[in-house]
Amino acid sequence: MATDNVLWRIVRPVKKKLNFAMVLSVGSTLLTIANLIILSYLINALYTGDTTQILYLFGMMILCVVISYVLRLKSFDVSHYAAFDLEAILRKNISSHLAKLPLGFLTETGSGALTKILNEDVRLLHGFVADSTPLFVRTYAFPVVTLVALFWFDYRVALVCLAILIVGLGFLALAMKNKTEVTHQFNKAKEDINVAVIEYVQAMPVVRVFDGGEKSFVRYESALQRYLSIITLWFKENGLNAKLSMFILNPLPTFIILLVLGTYWFQEGSLSFVSFVASLLLGTGMIESILPYRSLTNVISRAAISSKRIEELLAVEPLASSGEQTSVSDTTISFESVSFTYPGREDKALDNISFTVKPGTFTAITGASGAGKSTVARLLPRFWDVNQGQIKLGDTDIRNLKPEVLLDTISFVFQDNFIFSDTIANNIRMGAEEASIEEVMEAAKAAQIHDFIMQLPDGYETLVKERGNNFSGGQKQRLAIARAILRNKPVLILDEVTSFSDTENELLLMCAFRNLMKDKTVIMIAHRLETIKNADQIIVMDKGRISEIGNHDQLAANNGIYHAMWQSYTQARNWHIKSDK
């Protein structure tokens, strides 16, 4: 199958080690079969009372057991070393590839999906390489070699075992029909359950307040019901075939059949005693070796799905860069006839927009939700590339800059800033790891967060909890501002950074912004018009187009969108609830 081809392409870097492990495992298997044959002759020698043969055969058995065990352990070591090598290679390749992908792709794909690939899928392939070697040999090599040995002893016994094998595998094939589709539905149902559980747990405060947790639990319950219905349907359609295959491909029924037939042939003199014993040992061993077949197919199927996801991720085109420019001297930002449509959508997010931001000036972009404000901010650091037109830094198209040069020119403060599970100092140092603790503290002071940090038990060495859950939104915002101040890049993009502002921290944020924006080329995306009154230039967006450009006084005097927004804003600021008393 195509998915199997993907699997073997992914494990190609460790193919030699995997093949060597297979050879060692085959050698161990051959010695195991040889041991069964020797045991047959040993039992025959005990039956006839040949003491010399007994000692010789017993010594041979011990030798075969020791060598087989050594080969098996060596095969185990080689396959596990190969698994660790593959895991390291895949993690390195995927991480390196992710660093080259457009940031927009990473944002849209989501951390959950990427984490699943980097952790779960890679770990599953590790398990496949480490554990599949003995399963492959046992499932394929053992039955073939055993069947050849049975034909050498007695063709009738071999044909009986072959018939049992064919019938059992036939029922197994029927049980596994439509396996690919069922597996896909099964995995999808499991993912739906996981998503529903995570959503339910993470949203627990809201859920408990608004519906007591009862209605929101319906989503999890329905996902569980879909999962149960898939399993029930499979058992209803294929359960009987699965049970029959498990019964037939079982050593005990085979042993009974061979015992009855072998006794009959032995008593009539057409089957020697040694062949009789060998048929019981080898026949049951051959059937028993088929038992892992289903487990192996499941392992291969899951590994193939993981391989496909990894290959699809590695096939995503990295951020194109045709230029060799290694520095930026002019921070004039120019959007020239830029149009952009998000991948997978038809409507334009931006439609033929043009504007210029001069070095050291403050440009604000505002407008209704969905007007294209954040898209403008994200195109500058190349989260995506424009479909038409060009964006320039100075006289250079940003696509002709090396990505690392472009990103080293820009600091970006997001609406929702990611805080790592590390010390506060190291969080502020991100992007400026060589900074001293004194420089970190100066940046924190400028960001109006130093006093808060010093109140913590461990100060700057305080460990941040998962995603900064032990900090408020405003505190995380000021940590991000401290991070940007420390990096001190000439171009600064602020995306809805006042969204967490409240009465208590609004003044602190404004002071932090003033310190952050000194001597920089600034683009701020904002809804709160009070924060952009002093901007050198305000761009008003409407449905992906530029509606107005000017400063606050100019736009407020016009009878346009900004004038209406300012009127609504001032009315909202003056509104208050009156008491009926």
- pLDDT tens track for 447-489: 888 888 898 888 888 888 766 566 777 788 888 888 888 888 8
Q: Tell me, what DSSP letter sits at residue 423? A: B
Cα 545-549-552 angle, rounded to 5 deg: 135
How many C-beta atoms surround the C-beta of residue 81 within 10 A?
Answer: 15
Q: Could you tell me the CA-to-CA distances from 75 to 27, 138, 290 in Å, in that order?
A: 10, 13, 20
Give yes or no for residue 174 having a pLDDT over 90: no
Q: What is the pLDDT of residues 343-360, one digit of tens each?
A: 878 888 999 999 999 998
> Which residue has tokens 């404004």?
510
pLDDT on residue 199: 66
Query: Contact at 8 Å (CB) between 134 and 75?
Result: yes
At 562, give phi and psi (nearest 5°).
-65, -40
| 8 A C-beta contact, residue 539 and residue 549 | yes
8 Å CB contact between 361 and 522: yes
pLDDT band at 205 (very low <50, low <70, confident <90, very high): low
Predicted TM-score of the model (pTM): 0.72
Pair 418, 464: CB distance under 8 Å = no
Contact 254, 160 (CB under 8 A): no
DSSP letter for 469, please. Answer: T
Residue linked to tokens 């403060």: 413
Mean of per-residue pLDDT scores for the chain: 82
Residue among 405, 391, 262 at smallest CA distance from 333: 391
pLDDT at position 69 is: 92
Asked if residue 478 lies in contact with residue 449, where contact means CB atoms within 8 angstroms, the answer is yes
pLDDT at 443 over 80: yes
CA distance 253 to 486: 75
Alpha-carbon distance values, 450 to 417, 454, 515, 574 (Å): 18, 6, 14, 33
- Assign 317 to helix, strand or coil: coil
Q: What is the pLDDT of residue 1?
A: 46
Q: What's the rounded Cα separation, in Å, for the pair 26 and 137?
A: 6
Distance CA 314, CA 6 (A): 12
Please write the tens of the pLDDT for every residue from 494-531.
Answer: 887 665 555 556 666 677 777 777 778 888 888 777 77
- The rounded distance, in Å, linking the Cα atoms of 447 and 357 is 25
29 vs 231, more confident: 29
Q: Which of 212, 175, 190 is nearest to 293 (CA)?
A: 175
Q: What is the DSSP letter of 471?
A: S
Phi, psi (deg, nearest 5) at residue 489: -90, 150
Q: Which pLDDT band holds residue 306 (cuts at 50, 70, 90)?
A: confident
Cβ-Cβ contacts under 8 Å for 382 (sequence gap 6 or more): 102, 103, 319, 398, 399, 403, 406
CA distances from 576 to 180, 383, 570 (A): 62, 41, 12
Per the listing, tokens 């032995």 go with: 266
Q: What is the C-alpha separation between 443 and 413, in angstroms, rounded?
A: 15
Q: Which tokens in the block code for residue 152?
A: 């050498």
Identify the weakest region by mean pLDDT among 78-92, 99-113, 275-289, 558-572. 99-113
Distance CA 76, CA 28 (A): 11
d(CA 307, CA 511): 50
Which residues make beta-bridge pairs with 401? 325
Q: Which two tokens stand for residue 101?
A: 């992908």
HSE value, Cβ hemisphere, 13 Å, CA-based, for 372: 23
Q: Convert the pLDDT of each residue in 555-573 to its tens digit.
A: 888 888 888 888 887 776 6
Q: Can you give the pLDDT at residue 63?
A: 94
Q: What is the pLDDT of residue 62?
A: 93
Helices 122-136 and 51-98 pack at an angle, to 10 degrees, of 160
Between 228 and 78, whose confidence is greater? 78
CATH class of the domain defined by 333-418+483-574: alpha beta
DSSP state of 325: B
Higher pLDDT, residue 192 or 426: 426
Element (H, E) at 25: helix 15-48
Percent of the chain with pLDDT over 70: 85
Q: Hey, which residues does 365 pair with through a beta bridge? A: 525, 539
pLDDT for 185 beyond 80: no
Give the start-to-end residue ranges of the domains of the chain. 2-314, 333-418+483-574
Q: Which residue(s) pair with 463 in the sheet?
A: 423
pLDDT confidence of residue 337:
92
The CATH architecture that domain 2-314 belongs to is Up-down Bundle (1.20)
Name the pLDDT band for 74 (thresholds 50, 70, 90). very high
pLDDT of residue 389: 92
Q: Which of 427, 154, 122 is nearest to 302 (CA)?
A: 122
Where residue 494 falls (left for φ over 0; alpha for ψ -120 to 50; beta otherwise) is: beta
Query: In this structure, what token pair is assigned to residue 132?
Result: 């599949």
Stretch among 36-50, 225-239, 326-340 having the lowest mean pLDDT: 225-239
Question: How far lies 397's CA from each of 53, 303, 321, in Å?
Answer: 87, 43, 11
* C-alpha closest to that of 411 among 436, 394, 430, 424: 430
As a whole number, mean pLDDT of residues 525-547 equals 86
Question: In this structure, are residues 26 and 327 in contact, taking their beta carbons and an 8 Å threshold?
Answer: no
